[in-house]
Amino acid sequence: MYPGNADTACDQYHKYKEDVQLMAKMGLDAYRFSISWSRLIPDGRGTVNPKGLQYYNNLINELISQGIQAHVTLVHWDLPQALEDEYEGWISRRIVKDFTAYADVCFREFGDRVKYWTTVNEGNVFAIGGYDVGFLPPQRCSPSSAQSLIYNCSGGNSSSEPYLVAHHMLLAHASASNLYRKKYQDRQHGFIGFNILTFGFFPLTNSSEDISAAKRAQDFYLGWYLSPFTFGEYPDTMKKNVGSRLPLFSKSESNLVKSSIDYLGINYYFSFYVKDSPDSLQINDRDYTADVGVELQPVFGNSTSTDEFPIVPWALHGLLDSLRNTYGNIPIYIHENGQQTHRNSSLEDWSRVKSMHDYIGSIPDTLRNGVNVRGYFVWSFLDVFELLGGYESSYGLHYIDLNDPTFRRQPKLSAVWYSNFLNGRTMDPMITMEIQKKNPSVVLSTAVSNNPLLQKVQFKATSSS
């Protein structure tokens, strides 16, 4: 029986030293984790929690002692409840000041050791899931919407709030980025970025309508953030379809947001074929989803399990090429890529090995095409509490026995494969399986793959913390 909440989850809070040792043995050279605003500054502003500060210092110091670089995300969808109660959090422009002050604390306390700062994780999904559809915290959507009946929304307006939230995230990011560059970057020599969940969008047919619809989907889901970062403005398609519900940047705000990222973090799991759906644009009281005016159909690979994501490296290639061609050759870190399985699956997680093998094996082609990929993170290092799947869904390279009071970590086949790859031994999944069968406790060193193109890319793991 799994616990019903995430109060303990994988318990990295107490087991961080053991986990960092596992990372070092695997050969990881970096680890991405999130700082919880609520843990560090429980009231959202003001007094810093000394235990929270000590924990993150301990984790970062342990990573550094093992030669592992810390990549830190400042917001992974959680928010101090006091700010939600006071002014409804990201709906209010007041969040910009409070977020900047929180970021300032993090830069000041940890920036001497942290060189990579991602302000927000999956900003696009947070705005849609939390304020249009309502399946993510704070579960807001229009009371009259079908989503409200499903997710029992706490209130909200799906027609306007997603756009407000995204606008305030962009302004908060730009404010924190400006602070970092003026106050810290010269002496800390770090970089600041933003993360979105990405999809490849491909027209369902060769019709001009579907081709335009695929471009529109990219504008709404990705250009929503990347156009302001690149050009200082929202995409023209969004201005046309959303109209007065889309907030405007002042000239000074546009200049602040534009070029405020040193790198882009992308999470990638699946892609879509896009079909034009103009009827939704005739609805008077439209929400974000209706504004896009498309139907999305998943791009399927060879997976036969409903628990697993299709493995389609060509779709990731198409996405990366499109990002470069549309927004310039921004340095990109693939912050999340992984395979979902059911938690009760065998430790021989063959589908995860195949996913990693195919996606990582395709990166040299991406680099040859000139895409500026700097790093790759597997989601996730451990089986964690997934916000949507709880303990039923598994992404981890290591299994956590929740019924064991010590929360024992057990490496899966994917952990062995990844370490073999990092240490330049083999990328052949069948050989990896034989190695594990013959020697499950194989000792792992710290080299990188022998492929000269892959040596340009850092390979890592990520999880919430």
CA gap 195, 463 in Å, rounded = 14
In whole angstroms, give the CA distance from residue 293 to residue 286. 10
Catalytic residue among 88, 122, 253, 386: 122
404 contact partners, CB below 8 Å, separation of at least 6: none
Structure tokens, 280? 């939704």
Structural contact between residues 328 and 373, judged by C-beta atoms closer than 8 angstroms: no
122 as an active site residue: the answer is yes
Measured distance CA(420)–CA(422) in Å, rounded: 6
SS (H, E, C) the chain: CCCCCCCCCCCHHHHHHHHHHHHHHHCCCEEEEECCHHHHCCCCCCCCCHHHHHHHHHHHHHHHHCCCEEEEEEECCCCCHHHHHHHCHHHCCCHHHHHHHHHHHHHHHHCCCCCEEEEECCHHHHHHHHHHHCCCCCCCCCCCCHHHHHHCCCCCCCCCHHHHHHHHHHHHHHHHHHHHHHHCHHHHCCEEEEEEEECCEEECCCCHHHHHHHHHHHHHHHHHHHHHHHHCCCCHHHHHHHHHHCCCCCHHHHHHHCCCCCEEEEEECCCEEEEECHHHHHCCCCCHHHHHCEEEEECCCCCCCCCCCCCCHHHHHHHHHHHHHHHCCCCEEEEECCCCEECCCCCCCHHHHHHHHHHHHHHHHHHHCCCCEEEEEEECCECCCECCCECCEECCCEEECCCCCCCCEEECHHHHHHHHHHCCCCCCHHHHHHHHHHCCCCCCCCCCCCCCCHHHCEEEEECCC
Choose the catalytic residue: 62, 84, 88, 336.
336
Cis-peptide into 158, omega within 30 deg: no
> For residue 283, how many other CB atoms are within 10 A of its CB?
12
Euclidean distance between CA atoms 13 and 9, whole angstroms = 10
Q: Is 392 a catalytic residue?
A: no
- Name residues whose C-beta falls within 8 Å of residue 290's C-beta, 6 or more positions apart in sequence: 280, 281, 283
What residues act catalytically? 122, 336
